[in-house]
Chains A and B, each alone.
Chain A
């Protein structure tokens, strides 16, 4: 997966590039709008991450040029500007997502993966499996080591999210948004409690442990132990 990152702030650009590279992406980082404009139109990328405020050609201009050239490459805006008008403008111009600085890197990573997945048809499997954990999506049943585990609706939704995005670190804000439709931080440890309860049901009595806490970032479901 090849990404183009256009970011004029030196430190932000470098760290985001490094983070994405370490997560397995090929990243081209450019620091000016002009270079970004050129590469976006000539290069072949799976996703473009654009800073809105650039010294020469701004991010809006680039996304407009892309859409006029009938390119459907997903575009994620990265910006310190946080007004509703700006968001609407970005989305109307054809951006696919919008992330306001300061953002958590795990949040950015999760969104990048979401956008990249959007292109491919979502797998409509009836059954999901990680190690010895089996989810029957249609009948909303969960088994581990052939034992039926009964979960509440929300617990099931939470587990399904973790399993569908296994190996990815999911920030708490993303979990709250996807499972409960709560698009803001509630200053509480609601997600931690929910995860703890889920763990009690699917992990406590079994080995290996599947749900991992990534400190300071979020949670991840993975068959192997995290690094």
Chain B
């Protein structure tokens, strides 16, 4: 049922062709009508003039005039009207006078007499292969016996006009047809030409391969109508390029991050096997391997989490989460560790709630807090501040410490990104914690950012606000799941 729409060229050509044809037809019809009307009017004027003259002449003729004199006077009266023919007859059909040409007796008998000749009552009469416009009138006269009114039949040949109209008609239709064809062809040509930029853009797009994602189409060389399409395409390529870059960076990072522990394990095992050792040494090597394996396993599960987030597979189980309580719990969890590092933990602001997946939110906050505690110098403190503005909840996690330069700050949420490359293997995670926090917050429709000023670094995240009073039971599968599996490890 999903038929492909007709091509643009066909659509445009058909619609413009139909419109032009209709216009030409109406135009032709109007011209023809008006010429034809004009001819009728001309004929009527002529006939009317003849009738008037004859009436005048007849009125002036004295009774009993000899027929020869009568004919002379009548012929003289209409001498200016060469085209007109007429016949004067008495009421009983006797012809008193008739011009040369076809007999008008049939006309005089068949057509009802009228008072004056007009375009409405004039009739077309055909005789002996000649077409005439004709009318019949009566006129008082002293000519006939008993001075009865006479019947005047007048006619004028219109073959000339008809021929002209016929020729005009033919020419008009030929011209109309030619004009239509030209218009349709011109339309098609214009459409084809008009689509040339689209074909060119298609050609350009086809040449963009994955290794040329930096290529952009030039907005200056496309018609105004296409700039939106082209700029949308450029934006899309931009997003693809960024994603592609991130993916290839990520793959490279994975390879690098995994290569290091694998190299360690391989070397260690080879060296261990190179000569006999006592059992304590073997045990030591196995322990050391175990730690390395743990790190790799954690990295793999973190990367899987991020891959799920990338593929939009992170589906938070939404419930009302009290951020105040979550942060308190996290402070409780981290308190011994922070105390040992001589870092104070402070929570300020008003209690706020968000809609979210409690486990995920907790994990994001935990990553941010552990990061903050780790980089706070002894004797300083980490402050978590909760605030609301409009419909947003904002959580600021702020720690004292050296300024992070802008070039690091903008990449701080990137995977495997570490401020200090030497910190890489110090056992403090794989550099995925902040990336995971970002994925979680974004899966919740929130935003996360970092800023660093003299003496303090602040991570700020914002999430949609919900009222805390609406504390629906935090059901959902995660909690049910916890019930079954209280000691679930992180996913």
The smallest C-beta distance from B318 to any residue of chain A, in angstroms, reads 13
Q: Write the nearest CB–CB distance from A215 to chain B, whole angstroms.
A: 5
Residues of A near B487 (CB, < 8 A) are: 107, 110-111, 114, 173-174, 177-178
Kindly identify, within residues 451 to 491 of chain B, every residue whose CB is under 8 Å from any CB belonging to chain A.
477, 480-482, 484-491
Contact across chains for B488 and A83 when beta carbons are under 8 A apart: no
CB–CB B428/A184 < 8 A:
no
Q: Which of A9-17, A125-133, A141-149, A187-195 is the contact stretch?
A: A187-195
Q: Is the CB of B290 within 8 A of A216?
A: yes
CB-CB under 8 A from B374, the residues of chain A are: 188
- Known: A96-B484, A114-B487, A217-B290. Is A188-B332 also a contact (CB below 8 A)? no
Whether B130 is near chain A, meaning CB under 8 Å from some CB there, is no
The chain A residue with its CB closest to the CB of B317 is A84
B333 at the interface (CB under 8 A from A): yes
Complex Cα gap A105–B128 (Å)? 122
C-alpha gap A147/B333 in the complex (Å): 28
**Cβ contact within 8 Å between A216 and B287:** yes
Which residues of chain B are near A217, meaning CB under 8 Å? 290
A206 within 8 Å of B by Cβ? no
**Residue on B with the closest CB to A184?**
B490
Asked if A184 meets B481 with Cβ closer than 8 Å, knowing A102-B297, A193-B336, the reply is no
| Minimum CB–CB distance for A204 against chain B, Å | 16
User: Does A31 belong to the interface (CB within 8 Å)?
Assistant: no
Q: Chain B residues in contact with chain A, CB under 8 A?
A: 286-287, 290-291, 293-294, 297-298, 300-301, 304, 308, 313, 315, 329-330, 332-334, 336-337, 340, 359, 362-363, 366-367, 370, 373-374, 428-429, 433, 477, 480-482, 484-491
Q: List 17 A-B contacts (CB under 8 A).
A: A91-B480, A97-B485, A98-B485, A100-B489, A102-B293, A103-B489, A111-B487, A114-B486, A173-B490, A177-B489, A184-B359, A187-B428, A188-B373, A190-B333, A193-B336, A194-B336, A217-B290
A-B contacts besides A197-B336, A216-B287, 19 pairs, CB < 8 Å = A91-B481, A103-B489, A104-B294, A114-B487, A173-B490, A178-B486, A180-B332, A183-B482, A183-B490, A184-B363, A185-B298, A185-B489, A186-B370, A187-B428, A187-B433, A188-B374, A190-B334, A215-B287, A216-B286
**Interface of A with B (CB < 8 Å)?**
82-84, 87-88, 91, 96-98, 100, 102-104, 107, 110-111, 114, 154, 173-174, 176-178, 180-190, 193-194, 197, 215-217
